[in-house]
């Protein structure tokens, strides 16, 4: 009879260890997802720059390996230019210029200080676009 009690104790211990391990894996997975989101947000959503040139916008972003990735959008691809305001309950409102491309993609500028500054950037984009083709404005 002593053998049966020992067997149940060992079986109970193994089962308990298995449950704790699965709980730890779940906890580590949740922490990993959260850290991954923070890294993604830091690397891909911040440190964004637009350089508006005569016939194009150069969009420069930080990349994982510390280098910068540059994307070029030609004015012929732009369908619409608009200013947008994002309300934020935790802090001040943020202002952006949004560019819609013929492919359906929408690009948002880096955050601007005020709606007036966003409108100024929009007007400058439209002036430069007039040399190629005037976009529809919103």
Distance (Å, whole) CA 46 – CA 127: 27
Tell me what pLDDT residue 90 has.
79
Q: What is the DSSP letter of 112?
A: B
Rounded to two decimals, the pTM is 0.57
- Angle among Cα 94, 99, 104 to the nearest 5 degrees reads 125
* Contact (Cβ atoms closer than 8 angstroms) between residue 62 and residue 71: no
Q: Is the pLDDT of residue 6 over 90?
A: no
Identify the top-confidence range among 35-39, 92-96, 126-130: 92-96
- Closest C-alpha to 98, from 77, 114, 78, 116: 78
Tell me what pLDDT residue 7 has.
41
**CA distance between the termini of the chain:** 84
Starting from the edge strand earliest in sequence, which strands make up the sheet with 68-74, in order?
48-52, 56-62, 68-74
Q: Is the pLDDT of residue 12 over 90?
A: no
Distance (Å, whole) CA 43 – CA 61: 8
Task: For residue range 43-96, list pLDDT tens digits in order.
Answer: 555 577 888 887 888 888 877 666 788 889 988 898 889 999 988 777 788 898
């Amino acid at each position: 009879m002593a053998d049966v009690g020992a067997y149940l104790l060992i079986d109970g211990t193994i089962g308990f260890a298995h449950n704790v391990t699965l709980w730890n894996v779940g906890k580590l997975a949740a922490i990993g997802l959260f850290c991954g989101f923070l890294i993604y947000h830091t690397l891909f959503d911040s440190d964004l720059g637009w350089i508006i040139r005569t016939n194009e916008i150069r969009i420069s972003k930080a990349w994982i390996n510390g280098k910068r990735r540059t994307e070029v959008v030609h004015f012929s691809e732009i369908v619409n230019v608009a200013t947008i305001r994002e309300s934020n309950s935790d802090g001040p409102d943020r202002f952006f210029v949004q560019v819609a491309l013929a492919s359906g993609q929408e690009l948002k500028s880096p955050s601007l200080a005020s709606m007036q500054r966003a409108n100024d950037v929009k007007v400058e984009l439209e002036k430069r676009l007039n040399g190629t083709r005037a976009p529809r404005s919103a």
